[in-house]
């Protein structure tokens, strides 16, 4: 593969650096989380927030034991700059580097994934990552499992504390989940307004990951990754993930580092306008390519894209997608939506080789 699948829109996003504004809700949440950890474990964790989002395939995948044929590596899911370089899909890409010099770290950064379009999915978002290792010689563990038990207990205690700090006194439950770089891998869910919601992934470092970080086999430890938008949408009451990228003062001026966590007051919602596009699906077709194209044309005016129909005739398949347009800042005119939809149709034919119906 020689051609990058990064669009101008994504390049723009890499330049925004939302976390460098201390009054941005994501930064306010980060401060709260960092303070909690520093208060609970004084002097243990170092923090780093300035790693570049451009990383090697090695850092993002290989070092973390993500198999060569794992779906997350596909160009339909990941932004490639070239064959060996990607926009990080998670902050875990830096764990090995961090562990080379530190035994405990916290870090945040922007991460990029090609994905569907709705109020909780955006091709760029932010993660808070943490890792902590210990040397077995500091303990009198007889068996390897004891070290694991110790790390797991520490991990759960710390993350339950962090979740309680941000969400209040909520119900929580732990699930097993598979991540290649940890064993065991776990997921925490909290009960929020009558729904269970997954809030983080974590686990005990796979020994090979620690070796890849240059650690001797005497080390063991824990790792976790948190999607900041997911937490921030709940604690600040922010209804749409696009708002984090808004430059509208009616959004930004509501938040400040000194005030800490406050509830967002929605400004009036402008009307929704939707347009359908139906086409015959070509042989090689990735839905994420279509979503990307919709973002290229419609930008943040696109609120959601839903597949509303699918049928087959002979060996041909047809999809219908409903594109929901809404601005968070103003009324859209019919003409401008028609114009966007027209460009979308043309570009889908030209770039994705679809046949309009």
Of 130 and 298, the one with the shorter C-beta distance to ligand PHE is 130
Stretch that binds ligand PHE, among 1-9, 31-39, 51-59, 219-227 (CB under 6 A): 219-227
Q: Is 243 in the site for ligand PHE (CB under 6 A)?
A: no
Task: Tell me whether residue 25 or residue 203 sits nearer to ligand PHE (CB atom).
Answer: 203
Answer for which of 55, 225, 242, 301 binds ligand PHE (CB under 6 A) is 225
Interface with ligand PHE, residue 162, by CB under 6 A:
no
> In this complex, which beta carbon is closest to ligand PHE, that of residue 234 or of residue 343?
234
DSSP, residue by residue, 296-331 = HHHGGGEEEEEEEEEEEETTEEEEEEEEEE--SSSP
Pick the closer one to ligand PHE by CB: 202 or 235. 202
Minimum CB distance to ligand PHE, residue 270 (Å): 33
Question: Which helix (H) or strand (E) element contains residue 205?
Answer: strand 195-205
Q: Does 182 bind ligand PHE (CB under 6 A)?
A: yes
Please give the structure tokens belonging to residue 353: 């080789």
Interface with ligand PHE (CB under 6 A), residue from 90, 126, 132, 215: 90
DSSP state of 267: P
Number of residues engaging ligand PHE in binding (CB under 6 A): 11
For ligand PHE, the binding residue among 92, 212, 288, 341 (CB under 6 A) is: 92
Region of 9-17, 116-124, 195-203, 213-221 interacting with ligand PHE (CB under 6 A):
195-203
122 contacts ligand PHE (rule: CB under 6 A) = no
C-beta closer to ligand PHE: residue 212 or 327: 212
DSSP string, 99-159: HHH-SEEEEEEEEE-----BTTB-SEEEEEEEEEEEEGGGS--SSHHHHHHHHHHHHHHHH
The CA distance from 217 to 208, in Å, is 9
**Residue 228 or 294: which CB sits closer to ligand PHE?**
228
Q: Smaller CB distance to ligand PHE: residue 25 or 185? A: 185
Q: How many Cβ atoms are within 10 Å of 351's Cβ, its own excluded?
A: 13
**Chain position carrying tokens 């999607």:** 227
Between CA 258 and CA 281 the distance in angstroms is: 52
SS3 342: helix
Q: Which of 154, 159, 271 is nearest to 220 (CA)?
A: 154
202 binds ligand PHE (CB under 6 A): yes
Summarize as ranges the residues that interact with ligand PHE (CB under 6 A): 90, 92, 179, 182, 185, 201-203, 223-225
């Amino acid at each position: 593969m020689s051609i990058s699948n990064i669009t101008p829109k994504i390049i723009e996003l890499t330049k925004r650096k939302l976390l460098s504004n201390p009054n941005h809700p994501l930064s306010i949440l980060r401060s709260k989380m960092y303070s909690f950890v520093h208060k609970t474990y004084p002097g243990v964790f170092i923090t780093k927030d300035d790693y570049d989002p451009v990383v090697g395939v090695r850092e993002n995948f290989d070092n973390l034991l993500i198999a060569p044929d794992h779906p997350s590596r596909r160009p339909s899911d990941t932004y490639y700059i070239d064959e060996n370089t990607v926009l990080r899909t998670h902050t875990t890409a830096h764990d090995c580097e961090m562990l080379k010099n530190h035994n405990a770290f916290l870090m945040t950064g922007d991460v990029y994934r090609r994905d569907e379009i709705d109020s909780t999915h955006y091709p760029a978002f932010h993660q808070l990552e943490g890792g902590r290792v210990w040397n077995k010689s500091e303990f009198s563990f007889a068996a390897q499992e004891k070290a694991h038990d110790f790390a797991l207990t520490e991990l759960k205690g710390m993350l339950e504390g962090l979740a309680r700090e941000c969400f209040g006194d909520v119900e929580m439950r732990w699930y097993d989940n598979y991540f290649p770089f940890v064993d065991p891998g776990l997921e925490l869910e909290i009960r929020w307004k009558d729904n269970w919601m997954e809030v983080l992934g974590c686990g005990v470092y796979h020994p090979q990951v620690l070796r890849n970080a240059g650690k001797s086999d005497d080390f063991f430890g824990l790792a976790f990754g948190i999607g900041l938008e997911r937490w921030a949408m709940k604690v600040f009451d922010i209804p749409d993930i696009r708002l984090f990228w808004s430059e509208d003062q009616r959004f930004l001026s509501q938040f400040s580092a000194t005030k800490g966590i406050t509830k967002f007051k929605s400004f009036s919602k402008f009307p929704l306008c939707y347009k359908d596009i139906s086409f015959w699906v070509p042989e090689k077709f990735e839905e994420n390519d279509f979503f990307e194209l919709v973002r290229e044309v419609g930008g943040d005016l696109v609120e959601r894209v839903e597949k509303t129909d699918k049928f087959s005739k002979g060996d041909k398949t047809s999809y219908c997608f409903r594109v929901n347009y809404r601005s968070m800042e103003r009324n859209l005119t019919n003409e401008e939506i028609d114009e966007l939809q027209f460009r979308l149709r043309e570009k889908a034919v030209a770039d994705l080789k679809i046949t309009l119906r």
